[in-house]
Amino acid sequence: MSRTLRSFAVIGVALVVFGPLGLIIYQSFLSEAFFSPTASLSLGAYRYVLTDSGFHSAFGTSLLVSLGMTLISVPLGSLLAFLLVRTDLPGKKFLEPWLLVPIFLSPVVLAFGYVVAVGPVGFFSLWTKALIGRVPWNLYSLYGMILIAGLTHVPHSFLYVSSALRTLDPSVEEAARVAGAGPWRIAATVSLPLVLPSILFSAALIFLLGFELFGLPLVLGDPAGLLVLTTYLYKLTNLLGVPSYHLMAVVALSIVALTFPLVYAQRRMLRTAGRFAVIGGKGQAFRPLPLGALRWPAVAIVLLWLVVTVLLPLIGVALRSVVSQWGEGIKLFDVLTLDHFRELKGYPNLVRGIVNTLLIGSIGGALSVVFYAIIGLAAHRWQSRWVSFLDYLVMLPRALPGLIVGLAFLWVFLFFKPIAPLRTTLFSLWIAYTVVWLAYGLRLISAALLQVKPELEEAARVTGAGQGTVYRDVTLPLIRFGLIGSWLLVFMMFVREYSTGVYLLGPGTEVIGSLIVSLWGTGALDLISALSVIEVALVGLILFIALRLGVRLDA
Amino acid sequence: MPDLIVENIEKQLGTAQVLCGVSFELQQGEVLALLGASGSGKTTLLRSVAGLERPDKGKIEIRGKVVFDAASGFEIPAEQRGLGLVFQSYAIWPHRSVFENVAYGLRLRRVPDAEIRQRVGDVLARLGLGHLADRYAHQLSGGQQQRVALARAIVYNPPVLLLDEPLSNLDAKLREDARAWVRELIKQIGNSALYVTHDQTEALAIADRVLLLDRGQIQQDGTPQEIYGRPTSQFAAEFMGSNNRFDGKIAEISANRARLENHGWSLWGKLRGNKEPGAPGTGLIRVERVRLADGGGENHLKMQLKSALYLGERWEYVLQLGELRLRVWGEEGRAPGECWVAIPQEEFWIF
């Protein structure tokens, strides 16, 4: 039983990871798309891409964006983490779930929201112009893109720094207080330095995510002619008129060549993280650090971030979805309408997209959690070299942006004839989603498994239960709540996913996210805004359920 | 036929050799304590018997049936050894009621429902848990959880009951009560038991026989009286009880007695182990065997009483003579000053 399970896990993961990756590598060494009869082995694609000035500038932009957003989100995220975890910030119980919300919002929706809220003719831009005569910002610029990328990635550093701060023994801060330090000084000289490994870890993560950005640069960079590596890849799709798969493969590999070392470095950092951490002896309640007069400015910082990062784009999207048109001189109340939502019914592909999004999130998400649970259980208390092999396998997809995984699976379904019919079904999308979120899903599962003390399983074994029976009678029942939580979180991730479906988009595989990306090319703002509102509402509903059930979002 | 035979077990964990060739037998109905400090390998030994660890070398037999043999690579998995194990943390399954926790082993053995109800009911009643059958672990006190763990381990009549520090999570007062009834229970059901503990009082109180382990080796194997009263090694002597220690030189040997001396004192005692006159030696005596004396005599020392500490049920005097410091117990408070101390020869062991 456990033997079958373990073999299945190792072989299954190896197949879904190496299959697509191998195909990309193979394709990169061909002179044309792999299905072309005249394709031959060649380094031509490398020569073309690596000498293309467009590639060079996209590379430079990617680097700047990654660096810039890391410099914004890490300090801000660490500060917010300190305020929410260690101080008596007013209303922190209420604020905390909101800090993680951007993680569950689709970047392409957020980017679109910024365009309609603070773009050149956005709601807030025009209102500001009416007030002071000009728009004092320019969204379509490198700085605009970096700022927004930085602000929307604050939750990622908040997540890691706050969980490290939570394990910090409060007495080290109390000692600093007794010695005469104020809250800001404590943060700067005691608390944050003690969780430095986690801060650095989150910096590496955000730097990595910078190279995988797709929605934000597609929507915000394009109008200014700014391409990053992923959008450069996307533009290549139709560059030559025929599918330029060989060039796309090279670009995809160049992205992986950047992200893989970062993922590897992160893994090493994780091993040393916690080395400084002063873990509290007992989980005793401690008195949070009083901020004193600084508490209101501190709340203002948190709220300002929340307004700019979450409220502003969401209000933009919501407003845009209920106005028939928008521009200078138009009064909001004259153009209110619900027509855009009614219009959706006229497009069968959009209706299918909404249904498919629900299906892939609910049923697909559940199946993925089952798949992750099988892998998690297989590795659980298994002492073998295969476990570290499995670990590395699982880590690999983290270096693969959704866009590339989707592309690679498109090729897999084109390349292997027996499974070709599956390409136009939701299965193709499901397997790509499952691979993209493999590391995330497994982290959820192993967090749940970590709660199961080994004695509980050993007790069952000694009592007479075989490994399979132990899983059935002890392990699974004990993590059932964790599994439900994982399902809800994966559900949200699958609903907000957009980049993975871009290349797999076709009749039968439409989902809201990839539809928005393709509609963005046509400028159908009315439909995009309506779809976005539906997506956000869906995510909001699941988030609400998850929070009511007490699911921890910070996994 | 012994219930359990352990032969020459060796086990390495990482770079540490945890067990270096341990052998013992457990007779039918016997309670055997594995006593040792943390890191002595006692828990690893117990887990090897249970099948939760795989030793590198050696052989284990339960009731004449080989369950592990490193030489032939043969191993019966934990779930087929049929043993009962009580964990230090109790490991009560939180998602099952008390009844279902205890019934689990019987269900795995496909015992009919009616019989399960009866047997579980009997065991719970015997342990005073009858009224708690429908509760869950979080609704039980520590002492009750510990009883559930014990009930779960004995309900299917395992050939050997294994207990891994079962009392160490209880409060001191509860622990003293538990010692008595755990021993009573094991004796009543007539099971043989392997009992791991780091608490010497517990080992002496509960066991018929004690195995003293140190760094993966058996230091001494004997009844509680032998382990405490006739230690065969300096380690065994120092591990048990509270001791006074005399470092000196062997001055004289006659038959099984020796004279140990150092600046200002010279004492006769029982020689343990092989020593030559002139070799350095260590004398040990249990604190409770030393008495203040009214005057001089054979094996009496004249010492300075430095302080008298009140410990509640007795007084402890701290005495000094040069570099030698002794602790002696007595009944009443005393002022500092000179006094005589008697070191009974029979109780003074020289290693």
* Secondary structure letter of residue A287 according to DSSP: P
**Which residues contact residue B350 at a Cβ distance below 8 angstroms, ignoring those fewer than 6 apart?**
B250, B258, B260, B269, B270, B271, B272, B275, B281, B282, B283, B284
Cβ proximity of A444 and A489 under 8 Å? yes
Q: What does the pLDDT average to over A224-247? A: 84
Contact A517, A499 (CB under 8 A): yes
Q: Do you know the residue count of chain B?
A: 351
Read off the pLDDT of each residue in B337-342 and give the average, rounded to a whole number: 92
3-state helix, strand, coil in chain A (%, to 5): 75, 0, 25
- Residue to test with chain B: of A462, A472, A481, most B Cβ within 10 A: A462
A321 falls in which pLDDT band (50, 70, 90)? very high
Q: Which helix (H) or strand (E) holds B286?
A: strand B280-286
**Mean of the pLDDT values across residues A323-340?**
84
- A271 CB-near residues (< 8 Å, 6+ apart): none
A171 C-beta neighbours (distance < 10 Å), count: 14
Chain A: closest CA distance from residue B321 (Å): 43
Distance, C-alpha B240 to centroid of its chain: 10
Tell me the shortest Cα–Cα distance from A449 to chain B, in angstroms.
15
Contacts of A459 in chain B (CB under 8 A): 85, 87, 91, 93, 152
Whole-number mean pLDDT of chain A? Answer: 89
Instruction: Indicate if the pLDDT at residue A446 is higher than 60.
Output: yes
Q: What is the pLDDT of residue B186?
A: 92
B27 CB-near residues (< 8 Å, 6+ apart): B2, B3, B192
Q: Does position A279 have pLDDT exceeding 60, yes or no? A: no
pLDDT value of position A544: 93
pLDDT at position B215, please? 92
Q: What percent of chain B has pLDDT over 90?
A: 82
User: Is the pTM here over 0.80, yes or no?
Assistant: yes
Using one digit for the tens of pLDDT, what is the confidence trace for B82-103? 999 999 999 999 999 999 999 9
Q: How far is CA B46 from the centre of its chain?
A: 13
CA nearest to A203, candidates A141, A273, A148: A273
Write the single-letter amino acid at B328: V
Residues in B 47-66 with any Cβ partner in A closer than 8 A: 50-52
Helix and strand numbers (H, E) in chain A are: 29, 0
The ipTM (two decimal places) reads 0.84
- pLDDT tens by residue, A429-443: 999 999 999 989 998
Mean pLDDT of B178-194: 91
Percent of chain A with pLDDT over 90: 52
DSSP state of A90: T
Task: Classify residue A551 as left (phi > 0), alpha (psi -120 to 50) or beta.
Answer: beta
**Confidence label for A1 from pLDDT (cuts 50, 70 and 90):** low
d(CA A429, CA B254): 91
pLDDT of residue B213: 95
Question: Is B202 within 8 Å of B3 (Cβ atoms)?
Answer: no
CB neighbour list of residue A234: distance below 8 Å, 6 or more residues apart:
A214, A218, A403, A502
The least confident of A246-260, A326-340, B104-118, B141-155 is: A326-340
Give the β-pairing of B243-254 and B349-350.
Answer: unpaired
Instruction: Report chain A residues touching chain B, CB-CB < 8 A.
Output: 453, 455-456, 458-466, 469, 473-474, 477-478
Nearest CA in chain B to A461: B79
Q: Which of A203, A105, A529, A143 is nearest to A350 (CA)?
A: A529
Residue A498: φ, ψ to 5° = -135, -40
List the 90-119 stretch of B: residues with Cβ below 8 A of A: 91, 93-95, 104-105, 108-109
pLDDT in tens, B272-302: 888 888 899 999 999 999 999 888 888 999 9
Q: Which residue has the higher pLDDT, A336 or B308?
A: B308
* pLDDT at A171 > cutoff 90: no
Q: For A487-529, how does the pLDDT look when each residue is reduced to its tens digit (9 = 90+)? A: 999 999 999 999 999 999 988 899 999 999 999 988 888 999 9
Tell me the C-alpha distance between A513 and A494, whole Å.
9
Q: How far is CA A93 from CA A87, A88, A99, A306, in A?
A: 12, 10, 11, 15
3-state secondary structure of B328: strand
Q: Measure the CA dihedral A148/A150/A153/A158, to 10°.
A: -130
Contact A65, A217 (CB under 8 A): yes
Whether the per-residue pLDDT at A99 is higher than 60: the answer is: yes
Which residue in the set B79, B95, B162 is minimally distant from A464, CB to CB? B79
Burial (CB < 10 A; 0-12, 13-18, 19+), residue B182, is buried
- Cα distance from A448 to chain B (closest Cα, Å)? 15
Mutation target for A interface from B76, B108, B156: give the one with most A CBs within 10 A: B108
Burial of B31 (0-12, 13-18, 19+ CB in 10 A): buried
Min Cα distance B162 → chain A (Å) is 10
